[in-house]
Amino acid sequence: MKTLLIFVLSLLISNVSYSNDYFNALELFNKRKIIKSVELFKKVAFNETHPKRSDAMYNLAIIFDNGFGLQTDKTRALYYYEAASDLSNMYAQYNLGWKYYNGENVNKDVLKAFELYKAASDYGHPQAMYNLAHMYYSGIGTVKNLKLAYKAFLNAKIRGINESNFFIDKISNEITPEELVVLTDEFASLIEEKIPLPVLVESEEIKWLFYSKFFR
């Protein structure tokens, strides 16, 4: 199992008090004031009208899952992953998919893992696309489908997952030339555009760790 810690830098862009709670929680976390940070994240998480609600739930899941400044609590982490996933948080969907695929603190369920990877992929999560492609390619959690695997690997590739190249070449030799032409034409514009990755704006004020598990 590999883990990836991605620094996602956030800027405070609103003076609205409920938005301040979320960004204040981020700032407290980065100052290692974890208990106060968790209190604010919970305040945001249980505010049904808060625009950062799912992000707060995801961050709580990460804190409890990894024991950042608190005792590790996998049960509570799972609760927040599920809650954030239900609110369409792609990071939570991806991590939860990884847990179900590997049976980490849950009963192994590749069908559930497939659903979660698919949901995260639909929202643009690159690693979820790569893992989804693997499942299409191997027929795990779904019916084996080389065409859908090719598309998913290609989507992952143009979003920076270079490991996809091996499988793209491999599938190219496993499908018919006619099928390859159709798939290549369909994605030609995407290949040319090379969909840009999100630009991270550096800030000295607020930083947050977004945590993802890799399919290996």
Domain ranges of the chain: 1-92+199-216
User: What are the pLDDT digits (tens) for 95-148?
Assistant: 999 999 999 999 999 999 999 999 999 999 999 999 999 999 999 999 999 999
Architecture of domain 1-92+199-216: Alpha Horseshoe (1.25)
* pLDDT score, position 177: 84
Residue whose structure tokens are 């700032």: 27
pTM (two decimals): 0.79
Is 19 a residue whose pLDDT tops 80? no
* pLDDT score, position 84: 97
* pLDDT score, position 175: 84
Residues sharing a CB contact under 8 Å with residue 88, sequence separation 6 or more, in sequence order: 54, 119, 123
Question: Rounded to the nearest 10 degrees, what angle do helices 53-66 and 34-45 cross at?
Answer: 140
Confidence of residue 17 (pLDDT cuts 50, 70, 90): low
Is 81 a residue whose pLDDT tops 90? yes
* pLDDT score, position 73: 95
* pLDDT score, position 200: 33
